[in-house]
Amino acid sequence: MRQITGFSNPLVKRVRSLRDKKHRRREGLFLAEGLRILTEARDMGVLPEMLFLAPEGAAHPLARTLIAATEAAGGDVIETSADILSKLSGKDNPQTLIGVYRDRLTPLAALDRTAAPIWIVAQALRDPGNLGTILRTGDAVGAGGLILVDDCVDPFSVEAVRASMGALFTQTISITRWDDFLAWLRAGPGTLAALSLRTDTDYQAAHYPAPTFILVGNEAQGLPAAYEEACDIRVKMPMRGKADSLNAAVATAVMAYEVLNQQRRA
C-alpha cells in the first residue's frame, strides 16, 4: 500500500477527471464508492484497478478482504486523506473507499438473449437516478441486463453508479442505436413489450413469453411512435388519480414484476 497526501498528485488529478464523461470514455474507467458496492463487485469477481481509502477505511474486515484481493490481482491500493477522497468523489462527506474500475460494456452482438427470461431496454433515458434504479430492478427480477438505446445518460456516471447500489456489477450493459437493436432482436427469439399511453391493453392482460424485452422510453417524451409500432406488445398501467404516467424507473419495476410473476406461474 502506498500513500498520497498531495492534491497536486498527477494520479489524484487523473482519477478526479473520471467524474467527467469524456475522460471516462477516453480511459475506459469509472468510479465506484463505498464498502457495500465495492464488496458486491468483488463477490461478482470484479476488482478495482485502483483502490483509494482513508486510514479508517481499512478497519472493516470486508475492507481488509477487498484490499488483499485487489493487491493479489495486481491492483494499486492507495491510502489517502478524507479531503482527497472528497475531491475524487465530489462529495463533502465521501465514503472511506473509492474504487477505479474498467468499464463493463458488452457489445450487442455478444449478448446471449437466452441467458435470462427478462431483459430491460431503455430509450433516451436521461436521469442517472432512474438508470441506477432500473439496474437494481433488473438485478431483483433476474434480468439478463440493460440495453441502452440512442442517447442515454452514461451508466458509469458517479450518480448512476451510486443509484445502482452495486447492480451495475450484476447486470450486463450494452449501448446501441435503435435500428441496430431492432435488427439484432428480430434475428432471434424475443418479444418486445413497450410501456405506452397509446394502447388500451392492460399490462396484466398481455402474455410475456421468455425472453421478454421490456422497452421504456424517455422520462419526458416517452417512446417515439415509430418505436412503439415496431413492438410486439404495447401495454399500459391503470392510472386512477390525476397523474397520467408513472416515473420511468417505477413503471419499469411494476412491469418487470408482472413479467416475472407470469413466468413464475408458468
* pLDDT tens for each residue of 37-69: 999 999 999 999 999 998 888 889 999 999 999
pTM, two decimals, is 0.92
Please name each of the domains of the chain with its CATH number: 2-102 (3.30.1330.30), 108-265 (3.40.1280.10)
- Asked if 209 and 247 count as a contact pair (C-beta separation under 8 A), the reply is no
Residue 186, phi-psi category: left (phi > 0), alpha (psi -120 to 50), beta (remainder): alpha
Per-residue cell: 258: 408482472
Percent of the chain with pLDDT over 70: 100
Residue 198 pLDDT > 90, yes or no? Answer: no
**233 to 163, 203, 218, 227, 230: CA distances (angstroms):** 29, 9, 18, 11, 9
Q: What is the pLDDT of residue 201?
A: 95
Per-residue cell: 21: 464523461
* pLDDT tens for each residue of 140-194: 999 999 999 999 999 999 999 999 999 999 999 999 999 999 999 999 999 999 9
With a CB cutoff of 8 Å and minimum separation 6, the contacts of 93 are 86
Concatenate the DSSP letters of all residues of 88-133 into one string: HHT-SS--SEEEEEE--B--GGG--GGG-SEEEEEES---HHHHHH
Residue whose grid cell is 440493460: 146
